[in-house]
Amino acid sequence: MVAITRRQFLRRSALAVAGVGLVPPRLVIKGPAKKVLILGAGMAGLAAGYELSKLGHDITILEARTRPGGRVFTMHEPFADGLYAEAGAARIRDNHNLTLKYVKAFNLPLEPFYPADLKAVRFDRGSREEVPISGYTDAMTRNYGGELGDGPEIWHQIKGGMDLLPKAFAAQLGDKIQYGAAVVRIEQDAKQATVKFVKDRTTQTLTADVVLCTIPFSVLRKLELPALSSRKKDLIKRTPYDAVSRVYLQTKSRFWETNGLNGFAFTEGAIEIWHPTWSQPGPRGILMSYARPTEADRITKLKENERISETLGQLDSIFTGLRLNFERGTTKCWLEDEWSRGAWGFVGVLEAVKASEPDGRIYFAGEHLSPWYSWVQGALSSSLRAVKLIDSTADV
């Protein structure tokens, strides 16, 4: 078999995924209503719960965290003046049809991710260049092989924070979501699937006709999984997850704007610098770094104060005066997140189809099973595929 690249896989998958669309709200259930237990209230679990509920199935979602969204996480603390910045998913592209359909369905406001005014800074061509924002996205194209940077016009963000999307799903699902419920064991037999979880320091058990597991494989591999085949467990064990680190620096003013800069930069080491507060009111601002492997692995090993101090020095060399305006800092490193253990993962182009197949009564969804891994779009496309499988199965 000839190996294919991720981009080729995306192109070949586009028609199939586009055909999934949103599940029609009055789709007739092809089999009897099922009791479905969904593991994880990230974007895949929330979308699945929302659509399966509309189809008449009895769903319960178990979420280890005390909030919905998983790796969609908008940070409001410890920032002042109501400022916020994204710790996880931050950008929506024009061709991410499923993400945009849900954004529209919940009447969430969109705004451009990048500012149109002032200049960005790039260092990836050997010297400091002050460029329009299209020069910044060109740097992404140059360094990320075109998978991220095709122009500023294709990028959106949710005004008020990306976590408004999972919160909108959660509001619809209500008490169907149990928070603080950490799954520890998944079992199944000929009649039902059983999940054991810890909530309020007590081990509890729920049974269902079907389990939809959206837990990242990086976390799932740590659980007791007698329900799964050896092949599936081996795939879960082998799936790699990447590091991402973000360091946030709050400033008492947006001094860089007086120098004609918009706060975005692309470093020589391919680290993105964002100004997430460019469209938010107030005099204060936030500059943040966004590092991927392998730089993120190195940063993760540092102590919190070291991450902040190092980033402060690096960014002060780009935006002179940062040290004088710096007020406080914080960080987010996804490898050390207990319920993620990585920013994103992908089973691989040769394994994606088989990895998405159910294992008895256990179904799977998540961005790690989609060619759009690392995107909300990937979680949603994988989720809706699982919804159709569960709904169309007359008996399990």
Query: Could you write out the three-class secondary structure of the chain?
Result: CCCCCHHHHHHHHHHHHHCCCCCCCCCCCCCCCCEEEEECCEHHHHHHHHHHHHCCCEEEEEECCCCCECCCCEECCCCCCCCCEECCCCCEECCCHHHHHHHHHCCCCEEECCCCCCEEEECCCCCCEEECHHHHHHHHHHHHCCCCCCCHHHEEEECCCCCHHHHHHHHHHHHHEEECCEEEEEEECCCCEEEEEEECCEEEEEEECEEEECCCHHHHCCCECCCCCHHHHHHHHHCCEECCEEEEEEECCCHHHHCCEEEEEECCCCCEEECCCCCCCCCCEEEEEEECCCHHHHHHCCCHHHHHHHHHHHHHCCCCCHHHHEEEEEEEEHHHCCCCCCCEECCCCCCHHHHHCCECCEEECCHHHCCCCCCHHHHHHHHHHHHHHHHHCCCC
Q: Which residues contact 227 (CB under 8 A, 6 or more apart)?
A: 186, 187, 188, 193, 211, 359, 360, 361, 362
Do the beta carbons of residue 185 and residue 195 sit within 8 Å? yes
Do the beta carbons of residue 94 and residue 79 sit within 8 Å?
Answer: no
Tokens of 137: 């996205």
CATH number of this structure's domain 6-70+165-240+346-392: 3.50.50.60
Q: How far apart are CA 101 and CA 271, in angstroms?
A: 31
Pick the closest to residue 272 from 294, 290, 246 (CA basis): 290
CATH class of 110-158+241-336: alpha beta
Longest CA–CA separation in the chain, Å:
68
> How does 53-69 read in b/e, with b if 16+ C-beta sit within 10 Å?
bebebebbbbbbbeebb
Domain map of the chain by residue range?
6-70+165-240+346-392, 110-158+241-336
Region at 360 (left for phi over 0; alpha for psi -120 to 50; beta for the rest)? left
Order of strands across the sheet with 58-63? 177-179, 58-63, 35-39, 210-213, 362-364
Instruction: Report the predicted TM-score, pTM, of the whole model to 2 decimal places.
Output: 0.92
Average pLDDT, the chain: 91
Q: How far apart are CA 212 and CA 36, in angstroms?
A: 7
In whole angstroms, give the CA distance from residue 384 to residue 22: 7
Buried b (16+ CB within 10 A) or exposed e, 219-252: bbbebebebbeeebbebbeebebbbbbbbbbbbe
Residue 2 confidence (pLDDT): 31
What pLDDT is recorded for position 90?
Answer: 98
Residues of the chain scoring pLDDT < 70: 1-31, 146-153, 394-396
Interior CA angle at 24 toward 369 and 88, to 5°?
A: 40
324: CB partners within 8 A, 6+ apart: none
